[in-house]
């Protein structure tokens, strides 16, 4: 009886095996084939000797295919007159002061964008759909269909999608109402196009992985979605955009588990890696969600954990601009050559080099890499390493404020869960600045995403669009979240369903914007519900230790810097709980 989680990252594939109160972890280098890496990590953690009850998996296949534009040859079908939706975007330019800076290329070129006759209006059909006008396609592997107002009445889209599936049975056809039935045609079209474009790639990967697992006698994995829950492999393969944040979501889920078990209802996850840092607020034990995010410059409108990413990590490069200001990132030394102190040929200064010179890294990293202090000194000539850390911390502080203060959450009520290779080096300084009560460093800080996978719930999200006055909405589901706004506004506040919905919306508006107006009509835009099957209850464990700053604490796969005035000890899970004491 054991639970296995395997998370594939850019550099390493991590595995966590929880069996009979024991937590085992393993790290293997990610190979060119992700399915091979998954099996290698499973083998390394001893999964083949255990009886695996539950196997969960986080993958970067969809994300990489999007960023590297390696998806399927896709066609786009829209309402006639709106064929160019993906190319018009929202009409803003890419950079305010660089006139010719390009936007990321749309996933479908103009010549494969088509229109169908028929028109749906906001109140219903204006002109019947004409199946004869569905375009003749040549060698399209995937087709995205997005017709106007399909969020409200998908009947035209159904006709068009059915006609395409009948004509091109081998093509992966996705209609917008199937993936993101929400108002705003560009964002919906962008999501649908990504779903069609990535479907064949993710589908092929998951089928290959399923077959490889079967061959190795391992059960078929559940797959992590951006929303922070897992679904079956077949469901995951049917809508690929849901897997775009598979990896980061698992980390936030792991942070939520650690915080909850340590007795903190509210927390902020800080996952600092080599090139970037992900932050996500955890409220009442659950990572917060949002309805839309940008991936590779393209809007993806799907329930997603509200993870905010900044281009600052351990490998971020340090430089000075013409006005003398110290800048860190977003350029990174990457895995190769890496920071100068890694001794792999890097000569440019990075955040890791600064941490080393300040004595916040050991001479030998977990895993055996010896750090070269002289190389770090050469690279950082002319920079004060303490200033480098101040500047990167300022960037991280802004990120933490975006997910807390700007959402109306008070950081003073949140613990900071620090993980990833570099998170525990910076956490105490950040917590001090935001007056956060505690820093939590999990025993599994180096493999927290895989732990999150092992503990994750099964989750299926659904959204129903209304856009009606709340008082006319009729009976609503008992559980879930209502997206509400004053009639006339464009942005909604998410309010949990239940009694007193209107009053709770007024209160939320007051809290968020400083005023409420009880005389205004409240509009119900959408209801979001989720079918959830709880994940397994897992017991954590780790070495028992205590720390008093200034002190360097070596953990499995991460190093923690405890500054002067901070101290703490591990709890029963092995989570190091640090507080300001001095």
Partner 1 sequence: MDVELQVVGAQLRAIAEEMGAVLVRSAFSANIKERRDCSTALFDGAGRMVTQAEHIPVHLGAMPDAVAAVASHEPGPDEVWVLNDPYRGGTHLPDITMVSRTELGYAVSRAHHADVGGLEPGSLPAGSRTLAEEGVVIPPTRLDEETLAGLVGRMRQPDERRGDLRAQLAAQLLARRRLGELCARRGRERVAAAMTELLAHAERVVRAGLARIPDGRYEATDWLEAPDGPLEIRATVEIAGDEAHIDFSGTAPAHGGNLNCPLAVTRSACYFVVRCLTEPDLPASGGAFAPVTVTAPEGCLVNARPPAAVAAGNVETSSRIVDVLFAALAGLPGVPAQGQGTMNNVVLGNDRFVYYETIAGGQGACPDAAGPSAVHVAMTNTLSTPVEALELQYPLRVERYGVRQGSGGAGRHRGGDGVVRELRVLEACRLSVVAQRRALAPRGAGGGGDGAPGRTLVNGVALPAAASADLRPGDLVRIETPGGGGYGPPSR
How would you class 520 by CB atoms within 10 Å of its CB: exposed for 0-12, middle for 13-18, buried for 19 or more?
Answer: middle
Give the shortest CB-497-to-partner 1 separation in angstroms: 22
Of 1, 29, 69, 103, the one binding partner 1 (CB under 8 A) is: 103
**Peptide bond between residue 550 and the one before it cis (omega within 30 degrees of 0):** yes
Q: Segment contacting partner 1 (CB under 8 A): 55-63, 322-330, 417-425, 542-550?
A: 322-330
Between 54 and 177, whose beta carbon lies closer to partner 1? 177
What is the rounded distance in angstroms from the CA atom of residue 510 to the CA atom of residue 325? 39
Between 1 and 487, whose beta carbon lies closer to partner 1? 487
Of 90, 138, 381, 582, the one binding partner 1 (CB under 8 A) is: 90
- Our finding on whether 426 is near partner 1 (CB under 8 A) is no
Nearest to 278 by CA among 166, 158, 420, 451: 420
Q: Segment contacting partner 1 (CB under 8 A): 49-57, 268-276, 315-323, 437-445?
A: 315-323
Between 169 and 323, whose beta carbon lies closer to partner 1? 323
Between 397 and 556, whose beta carbon lies closer to partner 1? 397
Q: Kindly state the helix (H) or strand (E) to which residue 397 belongs, with its residue range.
A: helix 385-403
Give the shortest CB-355-to-partner 1 separation in angstroms: 16
Handedness of CA 243, 245, 248, 253 (dihedral sign): negative
Nearest to 71 by CA among 267, 221, 202: 202
Of 54, 177, 509, 528, the one binding partner 1 (CB under 8 A) is: 509
The tokens describing 388, both together, are 């480098």
Q: Segment contacting partner 1 (CB under 8 A): 16-24, 48-56, 183-191, 257-265?
A: 183-191
Half-sphere exposure of 273 (CA within 13 A, CB side): 20
* 3 state SS of 57: strand
Between 406 and 472, whose beta carbon lies closer to partner 1? 406
Give the shortest CB-169-to-partner 1 separation in angstroms: 31
What is the rounded distance in angstroms from the CA atom of residue 48 to the CA atom of residue 67? 34
Q: Kindly state the helix (H) or strand (E) to which residue 528 belongs, with its residue range.
A: strand 522-533
Give the shortest CB-502-to-partner 1 separation in angstroms: 17
Of 54, 112, 149, 172, the one binding partner 1 (CB under 8 A) is: 149
- Our finding on whether 148 is near partner 1 (CB under 8 A) is yes
Of 490, 499, 518, 582, the one binding partner 1 (CB under 8 A) is: 490
**142-146/74-79 β-pairing:** parallel
Give the footprint of partner 1 on residues 356-415 (CB under 8 A): 384, 387, 390-391, 393-395, 397-398, 401, 405-406
Contact, 555 vs 513, CB < 8 A? no
Binding string to partner 1 for residues 448 to 487, with x set by CB under 8 A, is what? Answer: -------------------x------------------x-
What is the rounded distance in angstroms from the CA atom of residue 527 to the CA atom of residue 514? 25
- Our finding on whether 111 is near partner 1 (CB under 8 A) is no
Between 130 and 551, whose beta carbon lies closer to partner 1? 130
Between 81 and 496, whose beta carbon lies closer to partner 1? 81
Contact, 173 vs 162, CB < 8 A? no
Binding string to partner 1 for residues 331 to 360, with x set by CB under 8 A, is what? Answer: ------------------------------
Cβ neighbours of residue 157 closer than 8 Å, sequence gap 6 or more: 145, 146, 147, 150, 175, 176, 177
Between 62 and 144, whose beta carbon lies closer to partner 1? 144
The tokens describing 398, both together, are 């802004």
Between 22 and 510, whose beta carbon lies closer to partner 1? 510
Between 406 and 479, whose beta carbon lies closer to partner 1? 406
Give the shortest CB-70-to-partner 1 separation in angstroms: 24
Of 110, 531, 532, 533, the one binding partner 1 (CB under 8 A) is: 110
- Our finding on whether 82 is near partner 1 (CB under 8 A) is yes
What is the rounded distance in angstroms from the CA atom of residue 228 to the CA atom of residue 234? 17
Q: Which residue's structure tokens are 């092929």? A: 204
Cβ neighbours of residue 200 closer than 8 Å, sequence gap 6 or more: 71, 72, 141, 142, 172
The tokens describing 191, both together, are 């999501």
Query: DSSP E strands: which ranges in 374-491?
Result: 415-419, 439-441, 458-469, 481-486
Q: Segment contacting partner 1 (CB under 8 A): 16-24, 50-58, 59-67, 508-516?
A: 508-516
- Binding residues (CB under 8 A) for partner 1: these are 81-85, 87-103, 110, 121-122, 126, 148-149, 151, 183-187, 321-326, 384, 387, 390-391, 393-395, 397-398, 401, 405-406, 467, 486, 488-491, 509, 512-515, 517, 520
């Amino acid at each position: 009886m054991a639970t296995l989680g395997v998370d594939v990252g850019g550099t390493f594939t991590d595995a966590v095996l929880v069996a009979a109160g024991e937590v085992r972890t393993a790290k293997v280098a990610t190979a060119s084939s992700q399915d091979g890496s998954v099996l290698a990590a499973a083998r390394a953690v001893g999964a083949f000797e255990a009886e695996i009850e539950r196997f969960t998996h986080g993958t970067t296949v969809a994300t990489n295919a999007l960023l590297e534009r390696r998806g399927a040859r896709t066609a786009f079908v829209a309402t006639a007159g709106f064929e160019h939706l993906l190319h018009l975007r929202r009409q803003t330019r890419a950079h305010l002061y660089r006139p010719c800076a390009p936007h990321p290329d749309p996933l479908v070129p103009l010549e494969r964008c088509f229109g169908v006759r028929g028109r749906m209006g906001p109140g219903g059909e204006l002109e019947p759909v004409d199946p004869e006008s569905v375009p003749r396609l040549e060698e399209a592997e995937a087709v995205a269909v997005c017709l106007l107002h399909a969020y409200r009445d998908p009947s035209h889209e159904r006709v068009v999608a059915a006609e395409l599936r009948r004509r091109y049975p081998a093509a992966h056809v996705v209609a917008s109402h199937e993936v993101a039935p929400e108002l705003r045609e560009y964002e919906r079209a962008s999501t649908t196009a990504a779903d069609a474009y990535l479907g064949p790639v993710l589908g092929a990967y998951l089928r290959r992985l399923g077959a490889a697992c079967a061959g190795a006698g391992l059960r078929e994995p559940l797959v992590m979605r951006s929303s922070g829950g897992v679904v079956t492999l077949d469901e995951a393969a049917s809508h690929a955009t849901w897997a775009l944040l598979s990896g980061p979501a698992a980390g936030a889920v792991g942070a939520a588990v650690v915080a909850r078990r340590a007795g903190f209802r509210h927390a902020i996850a800080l996952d600092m890696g080599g090139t970037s840092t992900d932050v996500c607020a955890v409220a009442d034990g659950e990572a917060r969600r949002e309805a839309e995010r940008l991936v590779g410059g393209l809007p993806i409108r799907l329930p997603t954990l509200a993870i905010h990413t900044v281009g600052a990590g351990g490998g971020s490069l340090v430089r000075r601009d013409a006005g003398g200001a110290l800048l860190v990132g977003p350029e990174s030394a990457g895995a190769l050559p890496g920071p100068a102190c890694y001794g792999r040929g890097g000569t440019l200064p990075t955040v890791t080099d600064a941490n080393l010179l300040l004595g916040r890294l050991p001479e030998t990293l977990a895993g055996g890499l010896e750090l070269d202090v002289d190389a770090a000194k050469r690279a950082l000539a002319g920079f004060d390493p303490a200033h480098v850390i101040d500047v990167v911390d300022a960037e991280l502080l802004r990120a933490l404020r975006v997910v807390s203060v700007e959402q109306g959450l008070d950081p003073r009520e949140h613990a900071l869960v620090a993980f990833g290779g570099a998170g525990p080096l910076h956490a105490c300084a950040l917590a001090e600045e935001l007056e956060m009560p505690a820093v939590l460093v999990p025993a599994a800080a180096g493999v927290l995403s895989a732990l999150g996978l092992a503990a994750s719930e099964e989750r299926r999200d659904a959204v129903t669009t209304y856009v009606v006055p709340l008082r006319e909405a009729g009976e609503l589901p008992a559980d879930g979240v209502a997206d509400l706004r004053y009639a006339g506004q464009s942005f909604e506040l998410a309010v949990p369903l239940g009694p007193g919905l209107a009053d709770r919306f007024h209160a939320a508006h007051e809290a968020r914007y400083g005023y409420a107006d009880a005389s205004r009509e409240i509009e119900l835009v959408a209801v979001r519900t989720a079918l959830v099957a709880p994940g397994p209850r897992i017991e954590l464990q780790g070495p028992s230790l205590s720390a008093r700053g200034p002190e360097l604490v070596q953990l499995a796969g991460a190093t923690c810097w405890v500054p002067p005035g901070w101290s703490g000890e591990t709890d029963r899970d092995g989570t190091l709980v640090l507080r300001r004491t001095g």
